[in-house]
Structure 1
Amino acid sequence: MKNKDQLLAELNFKAVLSGGPGGQHANKTSTKILLEWNLSQSALFSEEEKERLQQKLKNRITKEGILQLSSDHTRSQHKNKEIVQTRFLRLLEDGLKIPRKRKKTKPSKKSKLKRLQNKKRQADKKANRKNPLL
């Protein structure tokens, strides 16, 4: 991962009312955390990386190019902030991974032989079901 501190400095956090657990506490305190990050204005990633992230996270990014995440799992604003930051960093790590190319492989001699034996066994089984008078 790139410089984590610089990346976290690009994030905007908002605390809003949460509808999660906590009863009256949740109704009168702002414990839900909204994280916003502008992908297009980020200075840490190259154009190629931005394009890859845009493609991988297209369902989570708004039309303006802003990635939004939220957390209201706990009654603590600080814990929610930590949760949303770790989710954000994991999303970026997964989005930047370049998948390995698949190497084409051929079936082994043993697997070919096994397949043919199974095929022969199945054919014999079906042949034995036929009426012998025909």
Structure 2
Amino acid sequence: MIMLSRNIELPDNEIELTAIRAQGAGGQHVNKASTAIHLRFDIASSSLPPFYKERLLAANHHLITGEGVVVIKAQEYRSQEMNREAALQRLVNLIAELTTVEKTRRATRPTRASKVRRLEGKIRRANTKALRGKVQ
């Protein structure tokens, strides 16, 4: 059971984890052991709330396929367990990133005092620069 928020959790049976052989350097160990993890998560058939499903399916993200399946490959660690944790954490981070609702910006105006301070600063700076002229 993966906790996404206080009241939203993801059952383990909706996430498909497969151990595969890792790529890259590592010598004989990387050729023999299946330490990389291939994670697949089908958004449409999951038990996520409709709001989460809509946001995830509408997102244009490189980890989400056209069919609405999240595919994550974790192979940065030498142990399978650490790669499994990394893949699950990346899934949680992806869901959190794509489902956060940003606050709408409210236009504000500067106060009268801040306008006066700005103009006084400009006058002070102009006077300082005016004193740098040639002396007669």
Give me the TM-score of the superposition, normalised by structure 1: 0.78
Does the alignment pair 1:78 with 2:81?
yes
* 1:71/1:84 contact within 8 Å kept: yes
Shift of 1:128: 6.1
Q: Which residue of 2 aligns with 1:50?
A: 53
Shift of 1:58: 2.8
Structure 2 portions without partners, runs of 5+: none
Deviations 1:109-128 (A, max 9, x none): 33211221233345446666
* Counterpart code for 2:33: T
Q: Distance in 2 between matches of 1:128 and 1:59?
A: 60
Task: Provide the aligned length of Structure 1 versus Structure 2.
Answer: 130
Q: Which residue of 1 aligns with 2:26?
A: 22
1:108/1:15 CA distance change after superposition, 3 Å: same
Identity %: 33
SS at 2:120 equivalent? helix
Higher deviation after alignment, 80-89 or 54-63: 54-63
Q: Which residue of 2 aligns with 1:3?
A: 9
Shift of 1:59: 2.9
* Counterpart code for 2:66: K
Structure 1 portions without partners, runs of 5+: none
Give me the TM-score of the superposition, normalised by structure 2: 0.77
Moved over 4 A (4+): 122-132
| C-alpha RMSD of matched pairs (Å) | 2.5
